[in-house]
Structure formats: structure tokens, C-alpha cells
Structure 1
Amino acid sequence: MTPDKLVCFAHGKESGPWGIKIKHLAAIAREQGFDVMSPDYSQSVDPDVRVSQLIGLAPKARCLVLVGSSMGGYVSAMACETLRPTALMLLAPALYFPGWDREPAGIPDLCAVVHGWGDEIVPYERGLRFARRHKAALHLLDSDHSLNDKLPELGRIFASVLEQAAVQ
């Protein structure tokens, strides 16, 4: 049975499907009546293999929200053209790296990017570039790549995205 509202997470290169951020955000999603899925992408470090895996899972819902962190941000953004989500939220998205620097297509109008000023792995300028190109809401926080020290702020931003997505 297809759920009415679904959040599909994509974790980062070296994390797992139920890390600190995803657990925190999944609880918020469930509170707002969303079903949650968080596939395990750890069998491959190739971002395009992960994109194919997400597309192959074919998550469907009247209201589909994709959320990706780091490499998972690339995965979620690149899957938009096929999956056509209602909303997209990217956390320190690993976009525009050599070899996987294509511009994502099919980005929904409801899109938010959260990046840390002090991100030592993915420079915040990449999130800024994506946000500018796709007219996404951009939230720059005083944090590092993990953003784990900003869970309350992430939660508020995410809750707002879900509220807007649910009424579209």
C-alpha cells in the first residue's frame, strides 16, 4: 500500500542509515504523520550506484520528501528527476566534486539546504551554489560537516519543510 506521506533518507558516505541526524529527523517526521524509510547504501561508495539504488527502490507517496546528508545529498538531488518528490532537504550536500559534478535536474520548488560554515569536508560554497541555482532556501549554521551539534535547528527547519510539503 502506498503511504500518503513518506520521508526517504539517504545517509552519507561513511555513516549508516540510522545515524544521529536521521534518528532525530525521523522522529519529527513520524510526529507529523509521515512514514519513514532509510535505506542502507553502505555496500557501495560510488555515488551513482547509490543513486541507482534509490531510484530502484522507487519510493512513492502522495507527498514524498527526500532528505540527503553529504553524499546522500548528492544521491537525493540526483534522484529527483526520476522520483519527482514534493520536497527535498539537503544537509551539507556533497555536490560538484570532480567525477560527480553534474547539475541535478527535477529539483522541486520546495527545497532547503543546510550547511555548516566550518564544514571541513564539503565547503559551504557548494551548498550555496546549489541553492542559488535552484532557488532553494539556504541555512548556514555555525557548525561542521556533521551538523550534529545543531540538531534543534535542523529539526525546526525540517519540521517547516514537512509542514509545507504536506499542504502541497
Structure 2
Amino acid sequence: MIDSLVCFAHGKESGPWGRKIQRLADVARSRGFEVMSPDYSHTHDPNARVAQLLALRPQARRLVLAGSSMGGYVSAMACADLAPHGLFLMAPALYFPGWDAEPEGIPALCCVIHGWHDEIVPVERALRFAKRHKADLHLLDAEHTLNARIDTIAQIFDDFLARMPS
């Protein structure tokens, strides 16, 4: 079994190795984690993406699911089945009509980053999730992509991984 793994889930309009994922993958590798980032671009159906992740069954002694936008939804919804040790969400597309179920099995180590100026996913959804699951919450002066704050996100992610149980 892999010792430490971060499994990324990209957003609806991005790909598996976009700028944010590449940067965070470098951070993960520097902390001794292997990384994987499945390609979900063949479908815009969030539940089909969850099913794809569950079929992959990523496993590790220390498993982190990390997702951005729709990938945040995918990662959060997979927690009940995959039982990750950490969940890292960026502008998670939660609580949209038709895919608004409350995620279950959220690990105690959970972090949410959201932009105050997000025009795609209202910031209130991040607040709702963070409050319900007692997650760390970082609200940044940023838009939905959070790309303008990638250095800050990398620092937050590095701190998050440092807090993973050994």
C-alpha cells in the first residue's frame, strides 16, 4: 500500500494538471506524498465524476482528497466511501440544485479555501460547509479560480499536510 497519497480532482472547465494542481502537487511531493490527478474532462456530470473516483479506489496509509470547484464536490462526496485522512477544498461547488446532498464522512482534518469575489460558487456555501463540518476556513481576496492567490494557497496546503498524522 502507498504510504502517503494526495488525490486531486479538477474543476468542471479545467484539466487534471492545471496550474493550481501542478503547484500543489509540488508541495505534496516535497512533503513525501505521491500524487494522482484523474482526468474527469469527459463529463460535466458531478455524480459521474464521483463514481469515477470511487471506481479508482485510491488508498494509502495517509490519504488526502483535494478538489477545486466541481472537484471539491467530487472529493467531499467521496469521503463517505474512501475515508480519507484529510480533505482540502478550494472553492468547492457544493449545495447546487440537483447535487446538493450533504457530504458525509468528512475527516477531522479538513480545510476550505474560498474567494470573497467568487462569481460561480457563492461564498455562503463554503461558510455553510465549514461551519457544519468544523473545517478550517480561509477566505481570500480572490475570484473563483483562486489563481491570483496561488502562493497563499500553496502555503496553506503545506501547513495542512504538515498537520497530517504520521
In structure 1, the residue matched to 2:150 is 151
> Is the Cα contact below 8 Å between 1:117 and 1:140 reproduced in 2?
yes
In structure 2, distance between residues paired with 1:78 and 1:10: 12
In structure 2, distance between residues paired with 1:90 and 1:47: 15
Q: Deviations over 1:23-56 (max 9, x none)?
A: 0000000011100000000111000000000010
In structure 2, the residue matched to 1:142 is 141
**What 5-or-longer segments of structure 1 have no aligned partner?**
none
In structure 2, the residue matched to 1:109 is 108
Map 1:65-84 to 2 at 5 A. 65-84=64-83
User: Quick one: which amino acid aligns to residue 158 of structure 1?
Assistant: F
In structure 2, the residue matched to 1:42 is 41
User: Quick one: which amino acid aligns to residue 90 of structure 1?
Assistant: L
1:20 and 2:19 correspond = yes
Identity fraction in percent: 64
In structure 1, distance between residues paired with 2:159 and 2:51: 29
Partner SS for 1:90: strand
Q: Deviations over 1:72-100 (max 9, x none)?
A: 00000000000000000000000000000
Map 1:51-90 to 2 at 5 A. 51-90=50-89
Please give the TM-score of this superposition, normalised by the length of structure 1: 0.98
In structure 1, distance between residues paired with 2:110 and 2:159: 11
In structure 2, distance between residues paired with 1:157 and 1:82: 26
In structure 2, distance between residues paired with 1:35 and 1:165: 14
User: Quick one: which amino acid aligns to residue 52 of structure 2?
Assistant: Q
User: What is the deviation of 1:3?
Assistant: 1.2
User: What is the deviation of 1:160?
Assistant: 1.1
**What 5-or-longer segments of structure 2 have no aligned partner?**
none
